[in-house]
Structure 1
Amino acid sequence: MSREDKIVVGISIGDINGIGSEIILKTFEDSRMLEFCTPVIFASVKLMSFFKKHFETDINFHGIDKIEDLIPKKINVLNVWKEHVDIAFGEETPTGGEYAIKSLKAAVEALKNKKIDALVTAPINKSNIQSESFNFPGHTDYLAQELEGESLMLLVSENLRVGLLTDHVAVKDVVKNITRERIDKKINTIYHTLIEDFGIEMPKIAVLGINPHTGDNGVIGDEDDTLLRPALDNIRKNGKMVFGPYAADSFFGSGNYKNFDAIIASYHDQGLIPFKTLAFGKGVNFTAGLNRIRTSPDHGTAFDLAGKNSANYESFREAVFSAISIFETREEYQEISKNPLQTNRKRGFSKKK
């Protein structure tokens, strides 16, 4: 595979009973997408042909049995399996989880071995994927094990970026999972990804408090004063522009989020509720901090919409564009780092639709 070829974007199929197949097909039904990348869908030609017929999409596949046989500027389908698979749209079944993981594992293996440049994952169901060989809350945790680096869930939409100190953790366990070491690692990860993956030379990062009103001087908990503030003070001494902690309840409603390149929330819903309120349907989940690139849409399997030919594919399409953009920006950053005198290169990626 030559570097002159288009960026190769691997795509895991997600839960086969969800909306993954529909949003993948509708994204690449627009032939202009092939001007930006060469997609490889990790599934089977037999399965994708069934979906093509069901959703009545005007799309042609190139079936391959090994990744080396992909054809640039074509929609490639890698046969991870060849047997017939029963589809039960909208149902949570063991089969749905089994084939979602088969697709994911094959795609991640290709990503690790640099057979693809980036990975875009269609949504999985966190319940039916569980097995003895796959015991992870979701994509992020599995990728953190398989790839190198310190992972961080980063939700992205235009100039809004929200990262998490803790992600798939029960609310009752949030505080005990926020340690000085975790704060340092997550802020370091988001700081470097803003520079290397988004081309922001001097990132400004806001951190949201752990407790309501950041504890009100200890009245509603002292973790913000005893843990978060000292950690941020120490990070600022090292030259990073990190601000906070801010009271989460008014941070987004006041528009203060617009003053920063990224926001770090203390726990999942504290960050994702405002993000999805502001950007739902257009947001992208990027696993920052790893040595390889993975993005996904900002929604789940949407079983209630599955098979009805009515799913919105915009977030998935944005995930593809983001993967391309991040790959190109990271490549240019690495090249500039090797040749620091080349400071006049244009960084970033202009999306065309």
Structure 2
Amino acid sequence: MKKAENIVVGISIGDLNGIGGEIIIKTFEDPRILDFCTPVVFASSKVMNFFKTHFNSEINFNVVNNLDQIIDGKFNVFNCWNEPVTIDFGKEDLKIGEYAIKSLQAATKALKNDLIDVLVTAPINKHNIQSEAFKFPGHTDYLAQELEGESLMFMITDTLRVGLLTDHVPVKDIVNHISETLITNKINTVYESLQKDFNIVRPKIAVLGINPHTGDNGVIGNEDDTVLRPTLQKIKETGKLVYGPYAADSFFGSNNYKNFDAIIASYHDQGLIPFKTLSFGQGVNYTAGLSKVRTSPDHGTAYEIAGKGQADENSFKEAVYAAIQIYKNRFDYKELTENALKKQSKKI
């Protein structure tokens, strides 16, 4: 990990028929952001010129065919392909899905080879990316395979962080996925992320119940009593500040969430509905637990407004800022840990 100064931010283009191109251009039209990061968009100069013209942007970019041609402090575009692409805003297109994956794979390869420092992904369509060569529900599962670590979907803002025990799992299958091992691994991932990525020394974590009213003593399911509570008790005995399970229906409305550094929900909508209600347009999807930093905005392709110039870039911009800050926090944590070990070894 290099010294955290001008961070090279790799950006996968996402679904070209969605709002990805628009929010990327809007984010970097403000030249002040280039004072502390160097963006590299993985797409093609033809595509980016199309977006520039369509959205009447005056943004300038440096086109590169090799990543050693990146210019610090400039908006760079890496050519992942050279052929022209037909963009039809708002339409689902399997061919467009192929280009989204080309961009993601090229950006991930660059991240693994330390040619970029962090990855920010523009929204994809989870349906049109599926093929014989790519069979993942989305970014998170693909990156979990490509990058070392125990991945976790972690939705974050400055004041709210929500992690998930299960993410893209059908509701009918949720309880079959939740086990002592899963709970322990996810809580450990959140705990370590809060320390390394957010500089919180002694994190406090709340865990939401699996069933309504955490099962009401077995009346509405027994998984909270037989799996969740015993596992949380074991984790508490290790010294971690973990609390719950809490009934999910009143947890956010009562503002209890403000008492914790992170909340872990049992399933996707249990955590993401309150998160997006409280912070939509400002939230960031962070993949915690990996060897590299990846963030994305908290929204999808937004086909209904694609190409109309109406997309709000704030969540994407926050994703860029979050990636940069987490990278810097990791650098500081590593430096602090190494210094502590050196001092300890001298005493010995």
Give the TM-score range, shorter chain: over 0.9
Matched letter for residue 63 of structure 2: G
Tell me which amino acid in the other structure corresponds to 1:164: L
Equivalent residue letter for 1:19: I
Q: CA deviation at 1:5?
A: 5.8
TM-score (norm 1): 0.96
Separation of aligned partners in 2, 1:30 and 1:212:
46
CA distance in 1, matches of 2:3, 2:308: 39
What one-letter code is carried by the residue in structure 1 that aligns with 2:312?
N
State the partner residue of 2:273: 273
In the other structure, the counterpart of 1:311 is 311
Aligned twin of 1:349: none
Specify the alignment match of 2:188 in structure 1. Answer: 188
Task: Tell me how far apart the structure 2 counterparts of residues 211 and 52 of structure 1 sit (CA, whole Å).
Answer: 49
Contiguous gaps of at least 5 residues in structure 1: 344-353
Match for residue 119 of structure 2?
119
Q: 1:225 to 1:2 in 2, by over 3 A?
A: closer
Deviations 1:87-136 (A, max 9, x none): 01000001220100000000000001111000000000000000011000
Measure, in 2, the Cα distance between the counterparts of 1:342 and 1:248.
Answer: 45
- Deviation string 1:140-169 (CA, Å, 9 cap, x unpaired) is 000000000000000001110000000000
Whole-angstrom CA distance in 2 between matches of 1:114 and 1:36: 18
- Aligned with 1:198: secondary structure? coil
Matching of residues 124-143 of structure 1 within 5 Å: 124-143=124-143
SS at match of 1:339: helix
Contact 2:5-2:36 at 8 Å conserved across structures = no
Q: In the alignment, residue 249 of structure 1 is paired with which amino acid? A: D
Of residues 332-341 and 61-70 in structure 1, the stretch that sits farther from structure 2 once superposed is 332-341
Segments of 5+ residues of structure 2 without an aligned counterpart are 344-348
Q: TM-score, normalised by structure 2?
A: 0.97
Residues 1:241 and 2:238 aligned together: no
2:57 maps to amino acid: T
Offset from partner CA, 1:254-305 (integer Å, 9 cap, x none): 0000000000000000000000000000000000000000000000000001
Q: Distance in 2 between matches of 1:268 and 1:49?
A: 37
Q: From the superposition, tell whether residues 200 and 2 of structure 1 become closer, same or farther in structure 2 (CA, over 3 Å).
A: closer
* Structure 1 residues 47 and 252: CA distance shift in structure 2, 3 A: same
* Contact residue 214 and residue 245 of structure 2 kept, 8 A: yes
Aligned residue number for residue 87 of structure 1: 87
User: Which amino acid in 2 is paired with 1:99?
Assistant: Y
Measured in 1, the distance between the counterparts of 2:2 and 2:169 equals 42
Query: Partner amino acid for 1:101?
Result: I
Letter in 1 for 2:75: I
- Superposition pairs for residues 336-347 of structure 1, below 5 Å? 336-340=336-340
The one-character-per-residue Cα deviations of 1:229-270 (angstroms, maximum 9, x if unpaired) are: 000000000000000000000000000000000000000000
CA distance in 2, matches of 1:270, 1:103: 31
Any conservation in 2 of the 1:40–1:76 contact (CA below 8 Å)? yes
Aligned to 1:224: 224
Identity among equivalent positions (%) equals 66
How much has 1:36 moved relative to structure 2? Answer: 1.6
Contact kept? 1:23, 1:312, Cα under 8 Å = yes
Tell me how far apart the structure 1 counterparts of residues 338 and 159 of structure 2 sit (CA, whole Å).
Answer: 28
In the aligned structure 1, how far is the partner of 2:91 from the partner of 2:241?
Answer: 47
Correspondence list, 1:27-106, <5 A: 27-106=27-106
> CA–CA distance in 2 between the matches of 1:199 and 1:3?
17
- SS of aligned partner of 2:174: helix
Q: Which runs of 4+ in 1 moved over 3 A?
A: 1-5
Distance in structure 2 (CA, Å) of the matches to 1:5 and 1:246: 41
For 2:342 and 2:335, how far apart are their aligned partners in 1? 9
Residue type of the alignment partner of 1:275: F
Q: Residues 159 and 4 (structure 1 numbering): CA distance in 2 closer, same or farther, change over 3 Å?
A: closer
AA aligned to 1:228 is L
- Count of residues paired in the alignment: 343
Q: Which residue of 1 aligns with 2:146?
A: 146
CA distance in 2, matches of 1:58, 1:322: 26
- Aligned partners of 1:11 and 1:121 also within 8 Å: yes
Query: How far off its partner does 1:86 sit?
Result: 0.3
Who is 1:350 aligned against? none
**Residues 5 and 67 from structure 1, CA distance in 2 versus in 1: closer, same or farther, beyond 3 angstroms?**
farther
- For 2:56 and 2:327, the matched residues in 1 are separated by 32
Q: Tell me how far apart the structure 2 counterparts of residues 72 and 3 of structure 1 sit (CA, whole Å).
A: 15
How far does residue 341 in structure 1 lie from its aligned partner after superposition? 8.2
- Equivalent in the alignment of 2:346: none
Q: Do 2:160 and 2:261's aligned partners in 1 also have CA atoms closer than 8 Å?
A: yes
Change (3 A) 1:332 1:4: closer
Partners of 1:5 and 1:72 within 8 A in 2: no
